[in-house]
Amino acid sequence: MRTIEYIEDFTSWAEEFNFYIPVNIRFSETDMYGHMNNVSPFIYFEEARIAYLQSLGLFNDFSNKEEGIIVADLQCNYIKQLFFGDEVQVHVKTKEVGNSSFDIHYMVTKGNFDVVLTARGRLVYIDANLGKSKPLTEDMKEKLLGRTFSKTQVKPTP
Amino acid sequence: MRTIEYIEDFTSWAEEFNFYIPVNIRFSETDMYGHMNNVSPFIYFEEARIAYLQSLGLFNDFSNKEEGIIVADLQCNYIKQLFFGDEVQVHVKTKEVGNSSFDIHYMVTKGNFDVVLTARGRLVYIDANLGKSKPLTEDMKEKLLGRTFSKTQVKPTP
Amino acid sequence: MRTIEYIEDFTSWAEEFNFYIPVNIRFSETDMYGHMNNVSPFIYFEEARIAYLQSLGLFNDFSNKEEGIIVADLQCNYIKQLFFGDEVQVHVKTKEVGNSSFDIHYMVTKGNFDVVLTARGRLVYIDANLGKSKPLTEDMKEKLLGRTFSKTQVKPTP
Amino acid sequence: MRTIEYIEDFTSWAEEFNFYIPVNIRFSETDMYGHMNNVSPFIYFEEARIAYLQSLGLFNDFSNKEEGIIVADLQCNYIKQLFFGDEVQVHVKTKEVGNSSFDIHYMVTKGNFDVVLTARGRLVYIDANLGKSKPLTEDMKEKLLGRTFSKTQVKPTP
């Protein structure tokens, strides 16, 4: 596999995931090339990211619209092609927690943990009225980091 | 062409349109069958419907969220296939104006007015707080009906 | 509930369904009005239709591209609004089997069988080379009709 | 503006673009947060990338399916929010041409060249039968590099 700048050691990177959602590749998500359209993974990442933040109690908090978590960037590496009907797992983890932002990493596996997509993206905690970043609370940091301690059963392909 | 229940006489029906937006079929809107996915026309109808209502001054009115125009039903007939890169015209007109709702009809043409899709749908004027329909004002009715008087240059295929 | 032209008696219509797929409303399928975009149901209908045809052994048959089943029309009635995270059931059944085409009906329910969407559409069996309809085989008709005999547990809302 | 790793000097980077397509943000591309969904830019990048490759005569070449150009990775930075009805320009250029792959950069501007999104992605020239990369021909390299010489009128925001 090609070098991916946000993955130092692939095996340990893959082992750190311990949350995922299942996704089926839909017919409308294929294109005339016969396989999954390149846009589709970003739909799955969004679903997985929200489910992950919800599991940490960090999604519903922002319904007051005074503050929010926004996407600063997104980056996806296409390792293997996917097809209609493929059932995949979209794994999510927190990678780097900064003062007012953090990285979310994604790994999409198929079948017996065959890695088909990897991705990452920065999320920023913002004051919705000012439109500016604000420091993550200690509680938020704990929730984000708490998820990364336990081990996962993922057996990544080399 | 097959009988379509909402079109009595096709020639006169086609001639009544005098508003359209251009749309290009996108790559991500194709599917593994090699042509435009069946879901995509409803994206185009929405764009055309909003542009049409905006042209009548009937879209921005509802930003107060006290009232709105909602879609009650949608119905599409697929006449001919479309492919990536096809440039089409999505024509829109008002068909039947009732007490609190009205029908919007759609005709999608390609090239020299080759009809590829026809559609219709009911829109209902609602009180957003009560979640119930409310009577269209006289001003709204005038705007909706005004559009249907002038003639169009559309030359429909038989 | 408003009259829907393709539903004679709602209770018996709803009881005839005995196949469904679960669908979660995705974040990207909402729009700026805060709820599910009007285009999204057609994505779900496609998924449900294919899963249904697959369950009857009528989807994979067409990989030879000599023949196919295409969508002639689609029609959706929006009964109640849906929101991000809503878990729904998309029910499918065959309604009318003709010489070379048949109707598929759809019912989307939420929670304890609260009906939020109804829909129907005609599918046509075609000779892919000629681009013309061809008669359904007896085997196909049997498979399509077989599904409609057993009873469903759906308890429709009035 | 935050540092973006694939942009050394923003002004000169922005000035190198000399191809773009116009895109309107569609209603169905917004989400419940009221603005453009994070998935949508990848739809626009795909349209712009294909239009750009077509303009170079590098898209139609692959209809024989013996060879193709595939997306290896995609990376987007969200600078400013976009809303329904926004009219933007999606600029495209070739950045680095390697042996069998090249980088495409994207800049999305609004109004008087206000930069709202930046992006990049690697494309790989492949032998479709072997599923492996193959060297770009001299003709392809010339076409890709030819586009980057002339100056653009883009006035980037600092």
Residue C146 pLDDT exceeds 90: no
- Mean of pLDDT values over B57-81: 85
CA A67 from centre of chain? 21
Task: List CB contacts (< 8 A) between A74 and chain D.
Answer: 38, 75-76, 78
Chains in contact with D, where contact requires at least 3 CB pairs less than 8 Å apart: A, B, C
- Give the closest-approach CA distance of D119 to chain C in angstroms: 20
Question: Residue D123 above 70 pLDDT?
Answer: yes
At D20, phi and psi to the nearest 5?
Answer: -155, 160
CA distance A88 to chain B (A): 19
- Which is nearest to D106 in space by CA: D28, D27, D43? D43
Under an 8 Å CB criterion, which residues of A touch D? 2, 33, 37-39, 42-43, 46, 68, 70-78
DSSP state of C30: B
pLDDT-wise least confident of A53-62, B121-130, D110-119, D133-142: A53-62
pLDDT for D156 beyond 80: no
Of B26, B27, B46, the CB nearest to D28: B46
Is D60 or B73 the better-scoring residue by pLDDT?
B73
**Å between A110 CA and nearest CA of chain B:** 20
The angle subtended at Cα A29 by Cα A24 and Cα A30, nearest 5°, is: 105
The DSSP output letter for C56 is T
Contact C91, C41 (CB under 8 A): no
Chain D residues within 8 A of B46 when measuring between CB atoms: 26-28
CA distance B64 to chain C (A): 12
For B91-119, write each residue's pLDDT tens digit: 999 999 999 999 999 999 999 889 999 99
C76 pLDDT more than 80: yes
Selected for mutation to probe chain A from C30, C50, C86 (highest A CB count within 10 Å) is C50
Q: Which helix (H) or strand (E) holds C48?
A: helix C40-55
| D27/C37 CB distance under 8 A | yes
**Interface list for chain A against chain C, based on CB atoms closer than 8 Å:** 24, 26-28, 43, 46-47, 50
Mean pLDDT estimate for chain B: 89
Cβ contacts of C46 on chain A, cutoff 8 Å = 26-28
Q: Model confidence at C2, in pLDDT bands (50, 70, 90)?
A: low
Confidence (pLDDT) at A158: 37
Q: pLDDT confidence of D150, banded at 50, 70, 90?
A: very low
Q: Could you tell me what percent of chain C has a pLDDT over 90?
A: 77
D155 confidence band (pLDDT: 50, 70, 90): very low
Distance between CA B137 and CA A108 in Å, rounded?
Answer: 53
Interface mutation vs chain B, best among C42, C59, C69, C124, most B CBs within 10 Å: C42
Report ipTM (2 d.p.).
0.90
Predicted local distance difference test score (pLDDT) of residue C45: 98
Chain D CB contacts of C35 under 8 Å are: 32
Chain C contact set for D28 (CB, 8 A): 31, 37, 39
Reported confidence tier of residue B154, pLDDT bands at 50, 70, 90: very low
- Give partners of A (≥3 CB pairs < 8 A): B, C, D
Please give the model's pTM, rounded to 2 decimal places: 0.91
How many CB contacts within 8 angstroms connect chain A with chain B? 28
pLDDT at C98: 97
CA-based end-to-end distance of chain B: 7
More confident residue, D74 or B33: D74
Give me the pLDDT at residue D17, please. Answer: 96
Domain C10-145 carries which CATH code?
A: 3.10.129.10
Low-confidence ranges of chain A (pLDDT < 70): 1-2, 60-64, 147-158
- Give me the amino acid identity at D13: W
Compute the average pLDDT of residues B115-128: 96
Residues in chain D whose Cβ is within 8 Å of chain C: 27-28, 30-35, 37, 39, 83-84
**Chain D residues touching residue B50 (CB < 8 angstroms):** 27
**Residue C151 pLDDT > 70:** no
Does the pLDDT value for residue D2 go beyond 70?
A: no
For chain A, the first-to-last Cα distance in angstroms comes to 8
What is the model's pLDDT at position B6?
97
The least confident of A116-125, A131-140, B16-25, D143-152 is: D143-152
Cβ-based neighbour number of residue A133 at 10 Å: 16
pLDDT of residue A146: 84
Judge: B39–A28 Cβ closer than 8 Å, yes or no. yes
Give the pLDDT score at C64.
62
The answer to whether the CB atoms of C50 and A27 lie below 8 A apart is: yes
| Answer CATH for A10-146 from 3.30.70.20, 3.30.200.20, 3.40.470.10, 3.10.129.10 | 3.10.129.10
Give C41-75 pLDDT, tens digit per residue.
Answer: 999 999 999 999 999 989 864 456 788 899 999 99
The pLDDT assigned to B63 comes to 56
The DSSP secondary structure of A38-89, one letter per residue, reads TTHHHHHHHHHHHHHHHHTT-SGGGGGSSEEEEEEEEEEEE-S---TT-EEE
Q: Are the C-beta atoms of C146 and C92 separated by less than 8 Å? A: no
pLDDT at res. A149: 42
Distance separating alpha carbons of residues D57 and D61, to the nearest angstrom:
7
Chain A CA closest to residue D116: A72
Q: With contact defined as beta carbons under 8 Å apart, do A67 and A126 qualify? A: yes
